[in-house]
Amino acid sequence: MSAKGAQAGSIGVIGAGAWGTALAQALANAARERGDEGAQVLLWAREPGLAARINETRRNDIYLPQAELSPRVRATSEMADMAGLEVLLAVVPAQFLGNVLADLPAGQRDIVLCAKGIEAGSGRLMAEVAAAAAPGARLAVLSGPTFAHEVAGGLPTAVTLACSGGQEQWDRLAPMIASHAFRPYYSDDVIGAEIGGAVKNVLAIACGVVEGLGLGQNARAALIARGYAEMLRFGLARGARAETLSGLCGLGDLVLTCSSTSSRNFSLGLALGQGRSATEALSGKATVAEGAATAPVLAEIAARDGVDMPIVAAVTRVLAGELPAAAAVETILSRPLRAEQEYAP
């Protein structure tokens, strides 16, 4: 069954957090640049009243208040409205993706996964979650260095668009997503794109901890490089390709997120390094720091599969309150000396 009454080139975004809203704006910019006069972007918001306020004020007053949205962006609170669209970007946080997609009426469509995380409990990556919740969908993953406020403001960046349907799917999706300032690069390594985004969030927490403890910029750079080694080790063990992880969705995003208090994950780590608990640092926040939910499940999978991820393990213990931040750093610094490159065959 194809998406009922689907209009050619119709596109929507599920999830009106900061990133969903910024992506809706980027898609509207792409439509304007290609001269597609009538094109609209439908944005689904779950919060009561938010869709109506976006339509009235052109602003998402909860998650991205600084951006004025294009008139091409139209918001809805009805999931049924998304059913007839050909392409959907799924931008709800990793832990909620399965439940939200299960509410989507069945249909054959492209779903572009934009959350960066691993599902707690099941350990599933986003494409596995989506394949179960929305059977028949053609899946792709969009991931890279993309602070929402910068993308919404039209500043340039580039992302990996990993297409499970290969070149044919890319040919369909890229023209709808690409604009002068928002450049997708083709990949068919879906697992690599998912792992890059999920793991970098945990490593950004670690970099925040280093900053919070005042350990200096050398330590942060060393942590990024050793964290990247963990990402690579985990990715290779799960079938990702090394070149994907060295690209935009891996190293590119890792460098961004590990270097800025604009990152919610880095900021969470900063608070932990300054001696606050994860509960304190996260309480009362409407916004998500995906690494907090991903760290424990990632550490568990890595331990189960014999993939050495000491930084991820240390972050997990600090988040759980099992270890003060400074003691966690000690566990890393006191590890036996070893060869720099050690990956699974």
Ligand X SMILES: O=P(O)(O)OC[C@H](O)CO
Quick one: 196 exposed, middle or buried, by C-beta within 10 A (0-12, 13-18, 19+)?
buried
Pick from ligand X, ligand NAD, none: which does 183 bind, CB < 5 to 8 A by kind? Answer: none
Sequence-distant (6+) residues with CB within 8 A of 115 are: 90, 91, 92, 93, 94, 97, 126, 290
Active site residue 4: no
Distance CA 167, CA 289 (A): 33
- Interface residues for ligand NAD in 286-345 (CB under 6 A)? 287-288, 290
Figure out which of the listed residues 14, 16, 67, 202 binds ligand NAD, where binding follows CB under 6 A.
Answer: 16
* Helices marked H in the chain: 18-33, 50-57, 97-102, 126-133, 148-152, 166-177, 190-212, 217-237, 242-245, 253-257, 264-273, 278-282, 290-305, 310-319, 325-333
Pick from ligand NAD, ligand X, none: which does 189 bind, CB < 5 to 8 A by kind? Answer: none
**Of 164, 146, 166, 165, which is closest to residue 156 (Cα–Cα)?**
146
Pick from ligand NAD, ligand X, none: which does 196 bind, CB < 5 to 8 A by kind? Answer: none
Say whether residue 200 binds ligand NAD (CB under 6 A).
no
Catalytic residue among 109, 200, 220, 233: 200
Say whether residue 146 binds ligand NAD (CB under 6 A).
yes
Say whether residue 14 binds ligand NAD (CB under 6 A).
no
Say whether residue 15 binds ligand NAD (CB under 6 A).
yes
**H/E element, 161:** strand 157-163
Select 164 or 257, whichever has its Cβ closest to ligand X. Answer: 257
What is the distance, to the nearest Å, from the Cα of residue 329 to the centroid of all Cα atoms in its chain?
Answer: 26
Cα pseudo-dihedral 33, 34, 37, 39, rounded to 10: -100
Select 13 or 42, whichever has its Cβ closest to ligand X. Answer: 13
**Of 111, 103, 60, which is closest to residue 85 (Cα–Cα)?**
111
What is the distance, to the nearest Å, from the Cα of residue 33 to the centroid of all Cα atoms in its chain?
Answer: 26
Select 196 or 235, whichever has its Cβ closest to ligand NAD. Answer: 196
Distance CA 297, CA 123 (A): 6
Select 188 or 290, whichever has its Cβ closest to ligand NAD. Answer: 290
Select 41 or 256, whichever has its Cβ closest to ligand X. Answer: 256
Pick from ligand NAD, ligand X, none: which does 273 bind, CB < 5 to 8 A by kind? Answer: none
Select 26 or 325, whichever has its Cβ closest to ligand NAD. Answer: 26
Pick from ligand X, ligand NAD, none: which does 253 bind, CB < 5 to 8 A by kind? Answer: ligand X
Pick from ligand NAD, ligand X, none: which does 272 bind, CB < 5 to 8 A by kind? Answer: none
Contact positions toward ligand X, by CB under 6 A?
116, 145-147, 201, 204, 253, 256-257, 263-265, 290
How far, CA to CA in Å, does 134 sit from each of 83, 131, 210, 264, 319?
A: 12, 5, 40, 29, 32
Q: Is 170 annotated as a binding residue?
A: no
Figure out which of the listed residues 12, 84, 93, 273 binds ligand NAD, where binding follows CB under 6 A.
Answer: 93
> Least separation, in Å, of the C-beta of 27 and ligand NAD?
14
Judge contact between 289 and 176, C-beta under 8 A: no
Distance CA 186, CA 174 (A): 8
**H/E element, 60:** none
Q: Which residue is nearest to ligand NAD (CB)?
A: 17
Give me the helix-helix angle, 166-177 and 18-33, nearest 10°: 90
Q: Is 55 annotated as a binding residue?
A: no
- The site for ligand NAD (CB under 6 A) is made up of 15-20, 46-47, 63, 91-94, 96, 100, 114-117, 146-148, 287-288, 290
Catalytic residues: 200
Which residue numbers belong to the known binding site for NADPH?
Answer: 19, 46, 63, 116, 148, 264, 288, 290
Which residue numbers belong to the known binding site?
Answer: 15-20, 46, 63, 96, 116, 144, 146, 148, 200, 253, 263-265, 288, 290
